[in-house]
Chains A and B, each alone.
Chain A
Amino acid sequence: MKALQREMPESPKVGISESEERALSRRTFLKVGVGGGLLVAIAGKWMPFSEAMAQVQSDYALIIDLNKCTGCGACTEACNQRNNLPEGVSYIHRIEKGSELDGGCWCLPVQCQHCQDAPCETVCPASATYHHPSGVVLVNEKTCVGCKYCAIACPYEARVYNEETGVVGKCWLCLDLVLGGGRPACVDACIPGARIFGRRDDPEIAELLNSGRAQPLHPEFGTKPGVVYYIFRENGAHAG
């Protein structure tokens, strides 16, 4: 039991009061959590990513199914509009992967992974990068000095310098919408429905995460990506 408790994430803290919803979902959360914890405990030996995932404490998960992503760029477009970004600045960038030889080209959309051990937060001299209690990594645009150290330290290249504001911004998971019960703009905009978003204690999300199908991007960077997960392509093409 001790081992199980260690595997179970602590109950997440959130800035808004939603105690009723929480009380309802706690039971499911516990069930899934214990089940998932067991699964992780057993599977830990041969699932290299599960340990990193079990340590992550965040309320939300954004799962991108790369089998469905067509690389249309609707997410980027919606994000740019939502954040009023100037030409040439995007919080979501597309990386072309694969070739005709190994099962065709495909796209890997990358944005801030909201790492638990975020290198950008560590290196930010101005303490402008910080973790919201929900686990989402945010940038205080009034504190950022624009030194770009974060942009260099982020192995996902998710930090982008905005010449107009002098601030190094990034995806903030549209936290205003999310805390209000909505979804990030990129999720709503995704035409092929490749983006699945929800609370971690949502049974559907928890099942996906615990099944090991949805995995963090490059866990070997040691960053413990906390929110964004990928369902990698079935034809064996793995990112990186």
Chain B
Amino acid sequence: MTEHYWGWLVAIYLFLGGMGAGAFLIAAVIELSGKRYEQEYCPTTLVGAGVSGPLIVIGTVLLIFDLGAGLREPWRIVNMFTNWSSVMTWGIWILSFFIPIAFVYGVLEVMHVYPGILEWLRRWLRFLPETLPYRAIKRVVCSIGILLALGTALYTGVLLSVVQAVPLWSTPILPVLFLISAVSTGMALSLDLSATVMVPETPHRFKRLPVIHIALIGLEIIVLAVFFYISFQKGGEAAESVQLILTGAGSLIFWVMVAGLGLVFPLVLNVYALLRGSHGHVVGILAGAAIVVAGLFVRYLIVAAAIPVTV
């Protein structure tokens, strides 16, 4: 792997940003569609809303460690809001709106699920009402947040795809791949893992989940294949990068962690769940965890296989 300038830290950031945005998207869609209220307790919105803000903050903190000025003169980071022609500046603006929105949504969702929190708060803050119009507020927060979450998931791909000096990255299909991966990792986290871990006694209530997963995995396989094919056809450094991933230094990670663990394994599990007619806990935990882990390795491979153009 080449890892010139950007490596694991950036890959983890891209992964956490994508997964956080994806978890928010899933939760917000379930909230806005009203499915959240079909049952008394919805672990998906609770986990999706609660986790997306913290995940993105962790990613952003990692990114700050990667900055030259991060630990020396962190106040310089405000400069990063200034260049409108830089995709990184767009990203920082999107994040600075999305992170607060994600936290507000998380807090609202947790307070909605656990009304005791508000009661507890009212002991000190007597002006607070007995209850809040959670649903109305969340509707507004989710509607704005969905756009920002889409922006977050897409910009992580655009950040790389505008770099013409790295032929592997400079294709508009990369943001598409990152968006699909963001949605599928976010779904694995907030639907498979959360629901099965947090409500072990009830069978999974999203009967169509395996179908959605199978469709997403299928789509990811197609997009990955097209991405590799386009890059290979470009020749030169793009083709070298593809070779690095498929047959070179990155091949073990790709075939084991991405193709095997992230695509084939959850695909088989979800087909099994579909045939059995129910989405059990074991399937949920295993498939969910596999998709999440593979999401990180996809980002790492694409970041680390960046062979620059020959001068």
- A residues lining the B interface (CB < 8 Å): 95, 108, 110, 119, 122-128, 143-149, 151-157, 161-162, 165-168, 217-218, 221-222, 239-240
Residue of B nearest to A147 (CB): B67
Instruction: Return the CB mask of B127-148 against A: 1 if under 8 Å, else 0.
Output: 0000000000000000000000
A221 touches B164 (CB 8 A): yes
Known contacts A144-B69, A155-B165, then 5 further A-B pairs from the complex at CB < 8 Å, ordered by chain A residue: A122-B85, A125-B88, A126-B76, A146-B68, A166-B68
A156, B308: Cα distance in complex, Å: 9
A127, B89: Cα distance in complex, Å: 10
B163 touches A153 (CB 8 A): yes
Q: Chain A residues near B80 (CB, 8 Å)?
A: 125-126, 145, 147
Contacts A144-B69, A155-B311, A165-B68 given: A125-B165 contact, CB under 8 Å? no
Check if B96 is an interface residue, CB within 8 A of chain A. Answer: no
Q: In the complex, what's the smallest C-beta–C-beta distance from B238 to chain A, in angstroms?
A: 14
Check if B70 is an interface residue, CB within 8 A of chain A. Answer: yes
A145 touches B311 (CB 8 A): no
A156, B309: Cα distance in complex, Å: 8
Q: In the complex, what's the smallest C-beta–C-beta distance from A237 to chain B, in angstroms?
A: 14
A125, B87: Cα distance in complex, Å: 8
Q: In the complex, what's the smallest C-beta–C-beta distance from B308 to chain A, in angstroms?
A: 6
A143 touches B76 (CB 8 A): yes
B311 touches A240 (CB 8 A): yes
Q: Chain A residues near B88 (CB, 8 Å)?
A: 123, 125, 147, 149
Q: Select B5's contact among A108, A127, A151, A156, beta carbons within 8 Å.
A: A151
Contacts A108-B311, A126-B76 given: A149-B86 contact, CB under 8 Å? yes
| Chain B interface mostly | loop
B6 touches A128 (CB 8 A): no
Instruction: Name B284-308 residues within 8 Å CB distance of A.
Output: 306, 308
Q: Chain A residues near B73 (CB, 8 Å)?
A: 166
B86 touches A152 (CB 8 A): no
A124, B77: Cα distance in complex, Å: 12
B79 touches A161 (CB 8 A): no
B76 touches A145 (CB 8 A): yes
Q: How many residues of B contact A (CB 8 A)?
A: 33
A152 touches B311 (CB 8 A): no
- Could you give 15 example pairs across A and B, Cβ below 8 Å? A108-B311, A119-B165, A122-B85, A123-B85, A123-B162, A123-B163, A127-B83, A145-B79, A146-B70, A147-B68, A149-B88, A152-B4, A166-B69, A221-B164, A240-B311
Instruction: Return the CB mask of B94-137 against A: 1 if under 8 Å, else 0.
Output: 00000000000000000000000000000000000000000000
A143 touches B309 (CB 8 A): no
Check if B223 is an interface residue, CB within 8 A of chain A. Answer: no
Contacts A145-B68, A148-B5, A152-B6 given: A126-B163 contact, CB under 8 Å? no
A148, B306: Cα distance in complex, Å: 14
Check if B92 is an interface residue, CB within 8 A of chain A. Answer: yes
Q: Chain A residues near B86 (CB, 8 Å)?
A: 122-125, 149
Q: Chain B residues near A148 (CB, 8 Å)?
A: 5-6, 66, 68
Q: Select B306's contact among A152, A157, A161, A166, beta carbons within 8 Å.
A: A152
Q: Chain B residues near A144 (CB, 8 Å)?
A: 68-69, 76
A127 touches B82 (CB 8 A): yes
Residue of B nearest to A113 (CB): B311
A119 touches B164 (CB 8 A): yes
A180, B62: Cα distance in complex, Å: 44
Q: In the complex, what's the smallest C-beta–C-beta distance from A144 to chain B, in angstroms?
A: 7
A153, B162: Cα distance in complex, Å: 8
Check if B166 is an interface residue, CB within 8 A of chain A. Answer: yes
Instruction: Name B32-85 residues within 8 Å CB distance of A.
Output: 66-70, 72-73, 76-77, 79-83, 85
Contacts A148-B5, A152-B306, A157-B311 given: A126-B82 contact, CB under 8 Å? yes
